[in-house]
Amino acid sequence: MAEVKGPQAAQEELVGLCEEQFAQLEKLQNEMILCEPDFCDDPQEQSINRLIATEAELKQWLTLEPKLLASNPDVLLQAGKEEMLKLCSELEMILSCCEAKRDKLKETKETEQKWLEEKKQVLVTATDRAKRLQVEREEQSELSIWEDTKVKIQKMKLYQESLMEALGDVLEKHIPHPQDDIGTNKKKKTVAQQSDEGLISLHEILELLMNKVLNAPHDPYVTIDSTFWPPYMELLLRYGIAVRHPENNFKIRLETFW
């Protein structure tokens, strides 16, 4: 039974075998250099010949099967064991680095997932808030438009009333009621004068024309009856305040001023 050698003895034996092989290689290389014929003076051609010879030798070595340097199983066992321990140590270091990297990546992943969940919550909250603000803005927009319209209508009504009051004051001052004009002559009342007591003022005529334009713009004409004093009609028509109907002289409308 062969004696089992320790790691130190196995290493020494392998080193000795390697030195023997290295010495043999040096010897062969020297023999090849000495035996190489130096018949070619052209360096380029000589290099080509060496390349061809090297390729042929390489093909020969490729066809050969590698042989073990040492035949002693104990030496091979110790050498393989040492190499395996070294490999295991390196693999443990790699495993440790991988585990540390894995833990770091796991921690980063958990942080990123937490950050993602927070951002999702923020996004949901922001989306809900935006929807509520949109609804509120639409409601406020409709309400504000309605309120603005009401305010504008109220202002227009007040402005119209002020204009009508101003118009009434001007007409009352400069164009008196036909009954007042007729009543200045109190010497005697005839039947014709008594019929003039139903006349309406110029202010009322203008108000009728304006209301007709606003309430029925498709048919703004007002029919002239006995309550319309002819001098007033002549005044409105002569100064372009009112115009007659093109087909009916007993209808007038307010002139378009825009």
Pinpoint the alpha helices (H) of the chain. 7-35, 43-63, 73-174, 178-183, 191-195, 202-215, 230-238
CB-based contacts of 244, cutoff 8 Å, min separation 6: 237, 251, 252
Measure the CA–CA gap between 194 and 197, rounded to whole angstroms.
6
- Tell me how far CA of residue 194 lies from CA of 65, 81, 126, 187, in angstroms: 151, 146, 82, 13
Domain boundaries, the chain: 195-258
Ordered per-residue pLDDT tens for the chain, 258 residues: 445 456 667 667 777 777 888 888 788 777 767 765 555 566 677 778 778 878 887 787 777 766 666 666 776 677 777 788 889 999 999 999 999 999 999 999 999 999 999 999 999 999 999 998 888 877 777 777 788 888 889 998 898 888 888 887 887 787 777 766 555 554 444 444 444 558 888 888 988 998 898 888 899 999 999 899 999 999 999 988 899 999 998 999 998 876
160 close to 152: Cβ distance less than 8 angstroms: no
Write 19-28 long-range contacts (CB < 8 A, 24+): 21/69
Measure the CA–CA gap between 5 and 79, rounded to whole angstroms.
11
pLDDT value of position 252: 93
pTM of the model: 0.39
pLDDT value of position 183: 52
Compute and round to an integer the Cα radius of gyration of the chain. Answer: 62
pLDDT value of position 138: 78
pLDDT value of position 117: 93
pLDDT value of position 4: 47
Q: In the numeric block, which tokens belong to residue 253?
A: 């409308």
